[in-house]
Amino acid sequence: MNIHDIAKLSGYSAATVSRVINNREYVSKNAKSAVQKVIKEYDYVPNDVARDLSNGKTHNIGVVMPHTRHPYYTGIINGIMDAAFPAGYRIVLLPSMYNAKIEMNYLNRLRRKAYDAIIFTSHGVTLDDLVEYQKYSSIVCCHDPGDYNISAAYTERIDSYLKAFSWAKSQNAHNVAILLSRGFELSATSQLTRKAFIKTFDNEPNDSLLRTGIVTYDDGYNSAQSFSQNSVTPDLIFANSDDVATGARQFYLDHNLPVPILIGQENQLSGQLLNLPTIDHNFHEIGRLAFELAISNETKQFSVESKFILRDQNKSEL
Amino acid sequence: MNIHDIAKLSGYSAATVSRVINNREYVSKNAKSAVQKVIKEYDYVPNDVARDLSNGKTHNIGVVMPHTRHPYYTGIINGIMDAAFPAGYRIVLLPSMYNAKIEMNYLNRLRRKAYDAIIFTSHGVTLDDLVEYQKYSSIVCCHDPGDYNISAAYTERIDSYLKAFSWAKSQNAHNVAILLSRGFELSATSQLTRKAFIKTFDNEPNDSLLRTGIVTYDDGYNSAQSFSQNSVTPDLIFANSDDVATGARQFYLDHNLPVPILIGQENQLSGQLLNLPTIDHNFHEIGRLAFELAISNETKQFSVESKFILRDQNKSEL
DNA sequence: TATTGACCTGAAACGCGTTTCAGAAATTAA
DNA sequence: TTAATTTCTGAAACGCGTTTCAGGTCAATA
């Protein structure tokens, strides 16, 4: 049962049926009611794929993320979804595991018109690639694109990183461990962390106190364990999430070792319970802005301030 | 630049180009290399929407969920995604806010061929509706479908609910508060909670100790507050997540009131930190199974046991 | 009354791959 | 060498809506 069948059955043409379905003008009352009657009688619904093909639009936005285990990604996704839903867009989850080949594959699906736009919450492909593929469709990234001419909605992280490290310094931290999702060379965010560290402590982060590939509570725990196994004792741990910091903390507690000072990120419940200092990156707003950029035709950048939150240490009731 | 252009440029027909692209047999070496050369030269990629239209398949699976604020839903989504990715399927997020009209809309999009299947992590429409729409495409629900003939992957909750309540009873809990996402009349899961409660305590849950619409930490906090404002003092709170239980706990702490015994669900980090008894519903496995059902042609049901986890209360180091 | 303009309508083309089917060419089997 | 296969190939139809454009009707303006 397609639009041509309805056309025949109603005695009008497919063009008229299409007009009725889409509530276009220039349809007589007679035509409208006749067509509607047949549509109702045969319970006809138009094929969305054919429609998308004809319209050259799918109302689908692809969202690329390495995984959904870190609150930053899930937070952005929520932000995008909350904005996309009322606008009639749907989001398609495109997991990449930081794999550039997989991401290129998604970029090609953009060329193939499968999505109206793609938002990269994180990207393994180069910014050059993103700029290149922009000619096919709207692309938004969620990192500072620097001089690259590409739409971006991102967190201005440097200030809060500086605040966090300078607070760390004020606590007399000398051996600062850094737990990152990706190494400095691979991630702009990690690079920012490094810059803030250098600016504060006047030297490079200590390799033996650096761990990458860190995402979850367990990763935090294991990092602390590996520090311990290597006889490394950080006096402060700067983690990429509160849950990660909490995991590290647990290792020390489990082994009756003194717990280093902890700094988390993303303002999670675990950090709230433990009164950890944290950095709130306002990912929900990032998601919202990313969506707005995705459906707009302009290429522009939005940045949002992140906040270093130092909770009242005395209020800890745990 | 479409397949016909490539056909002309290569001196072969669209049919042959299609064969080359899809690696079909019955293409001569000459044809293959000539076509590939032109494809490469013009950097042609086929249009996915046209392909989907032709093939009648999109490789998109719609996933309906009320929201993404509860770990149960995000957990299922992760499970689905982890299974869908290697199988070459993508998932489209379809938020419903428990709104049956919105869900019907999604069901109609299924009829319109926008998705190959739909998974309902929760449903506001009736099971009759789901059964009805099954004739158009594969539908999977994540609740016990009872006698309805529909594919389902769900958690067998009753045992762990019974265990939880009987533990509650053993703790001499008399005023048991229940925090639910939806009321008994609207949700099969809530109904199970009720049944387990009745079986254990031999009477209906007390209305004044019942709260619905509960999803987050804040909701938990507010519930406790509303109990307090109504001079209701539960001696045990059965929450629908550890975070919710944690929120309730916080209210009592903030007001220097004795904290009731807490039972959480979903085995979250907050519960782990506070050593709360919890119920683990194994949502990741549910998601995986739901996906398998979504792409299979059979209609069947899988259920997974949930676990009541009583943590060592003495080990609380917080 | 002659124009003008608004309103209707449908055939055909378009968006773009895929598949069918018939026919031709090249092999292999007999 | 002939018959029977197997391999290639492309025109056309198909999946299904949307849009364009020409042609027609009818009421309103001049």
Assess whether B23 and B165 both reside in one domain. Answer: no
CATH label of the domain that carries residue B202: 3.40.50.2300
Report the Cα B202 to chain-centroid distance in Å: 32
Residues B42 and B149 in one domain: no
Q: Is the pLDDT of residue B314 over 60?
A: no
pLDDT band at B317 (very low <50, low <70, confident <90, very high): very low
Provide the pLDDT confidence category of residue B315 given band limits of 50, 70 and 90. low
What span, in angstroms and rounded, lies between the C-alpha atoms of B139 and B149?
11
Are B105 and B83 contacting, i.e. CB atoms less than 8 angstroms apart? Answer: no
Choosing from B11, B26, B46, the residue where a domain stops is: B46
The C-alpha atoms of residue B226 and residue B221 are separated, in whole angstroms, by: 9
Chain B within 8 Å of A241 (Cβ-Cβ)? no
Are both A133 and A187 inside the same structural domain? no
Please name every residue paired with A118 in a beta bridge, in sequence order, or none if there are none: A62, A139
Taking the C-alpha atoms of residue A47 and residue B288, their distance in angstroms, rounded to an integer, is 29
pLDDT class of A317 with cuts at 50, 70, 90: very low
Is A318 inside any structural domain?
A: no
Q: Which residues contact B300 (CB under 8 A, 6 or more apart)?
A: B151, B293
Strands A60-65 and A90-95: parallel
* Count of structural domains, chain B: 3
Does B166 share its domain with B272?
Answer: yes
Tokens linked to B122:
């929760």
Beta-carbon separation of A78 and B95 below 8 A: no
Same domain, B205 and B295: no
Q: A263 and A231 in one domain?
A: yes
Same domain membership, residue A192 and residue A129: no
Phi, psi of A198 (to 5 degrees): -60, -45
Residues B104 and B180 in one domain: no
- Which residue's entry shows tokens 């429609």? A51
Tokens of A17: 């049926």
Q: Estimate in Å the CA B52 to C1' D11 gap, whole number.
A: 23
Model confidence at B223, in pLDDT bands (50, 70, 90)?
A: very high
pLDDT digits (tens, 9 = 90+) for A14-37: 999 999 999 998 999 999 999 999
Cross-chain residue pair B47–A78, CB shorter than 8 Å: no
Taking the Cβ of residue A242 and every Cβ of chain B, the question of whether any pair is shorter than 8 Å is answered with no
Report if residue A316 sits inside a domain.
no
Among B228, B277, B278, which Cα is nearest to B250's? B228
Query: Is strand D less than 7 A from the beta carbon of A53?
Result: yes
Rounded distance between C-alpha atoms, residue B297 and residue B282, angstroms: 24
B136 touching A, CB under 8 A?
A: no
Question: Are B110 and B149 found together in one domain?
Answer: yes
* C-alpha B20 chain-centroid distance: 40
Of B51, B60, B112, the CB nearest to A45: B112
Give the integer Cα–Cα distance in Å for A191 and A184: 5
**Which single residue is written with the structure tokens 């428990």?**
B98
Shared domain check, B265 and B121: no
Q: What is the pLDDT of residue B312?
A: 73
* B260-280 per-position pLDDT tens digit: 999 999 999 999 999 999 999
DSSP 8-state class, residue B186: T
Residue A318 has pLDDT above 70, yes or no: no
pLDDT confidence tier of residue A312, bands split at 50, 70 and 90: confident
How far A300 CA lies from chain B's nearest CA (Å)? 27
Q: Is A234 in the same domain as A293?
A: no
Domain-embedded: residue B195: yes
Query: Average pLDDT in the B130-134 region?
Result: 96
* Structure tokens, A246: 């909490």
User: What confidence tens digit (pLDDT) does each residue in B73-124 have?
Assistant: 999 999 999 999 999 999 999 999 999 999 999 999 999 999 999 999 999 9
Give A60's strand partners: A90
Write the CB contacts of A161 (distance below 8 Å, at least 6 apart in sequence): A192, A193, A195, A196, A197, A279
Q: How far apart are CA B301 and CA B146, in angstroms?
A: 10
Q: How confident is the model at residue B313 (pLDDT cuts 50, 70, 90)?
A: low
CA–CA min distance B50, chain A (Å): 6
Residue A100 has phi, psi (to 5 degrees) of -65, -35
pLDDT of A231 higher than 80: yes
Structural domain that includes position B298: 57-155+283-304
Q: Per residue in B39-84, pLDDT tens?
A: 999 999 999 999 999 999 999 999 999 999 999 999 999 999 999 9
Query: Does residue A51 fall inside a structural domain?
Result: no
